[in-house]
Amino acid sequence: MAWKKVSPELSQILAEALAAFPAQKRAMFGCPAYFVHGNMFAGVHQDSLMIRLSAADQLELLKQNDEVSRFEPMPGRPMKEYLVLPISLLEDARDFDHWLRRSYEYASSLPPKQPKAAKKKSKPMGSKKR
């Protein structure tokens, strides 16, 4: 599978839709991703916009829209809580906002992630204390 650049259009759509959310924007593997309490809840990967949902919300959205799919950053490697939103859903402002809010609320309900401790710098080989 060839790597595709992140869609600037989708990045802009997501940035505008999440402007009012108290979320932190970070890059994940060069792709824009949005976090709350250290938990990712939305992002753009290549030409896909994905969101994180509870199991119940995933089932509801999958039943509601047959264009929605599971998010697989690599074929055969799905991320279990993430779905890809189709362009048709992004074009319906109310529906899009509804699912972004559900995603944000779900990630907000998860335990905050603690920042990882910084790795200790190792001493260069051959340098000994005397």
Distance CA(4)–CA(53), nearest Å, equals: 25
Does 112 score more than 70 pLDDT?
yes
Question: What stretch of H or E contains 32?
Answer: strand 31-36
Q: Read off the DSSP letter of residue 21.
A: S
For residues 16-25, give the mean pLDDT: 95
Distance CA(32)–CA(10), nearest Å, equals: 10
120 is a domain residue: no
Helix (H, G, I), strand (E, B) or coil at 40: strand
Q: Determine the pLDDT at residue 73.
A: 73
In the structure, what pLDDT confidence band is assigned to residue 6 with cuts at 50, 70 and 90? confident
Let me know: does 91 contact 108? Beta carbons within 8 Å: no
127 is a domain residue: no
Q: Which domain holds residue 75?
A: 8-109
CATH of the domain at 16: 3.30.1460.30
Instruction: Name the residue with higher pLDDT: 113 or 93.
Output: 93
Q: Determine the pLDDT at residue 130.
A: 53
User: Number of folded domains in the chain?
Assistant: 1
| pTM exceeds 0.85, yes or no | no
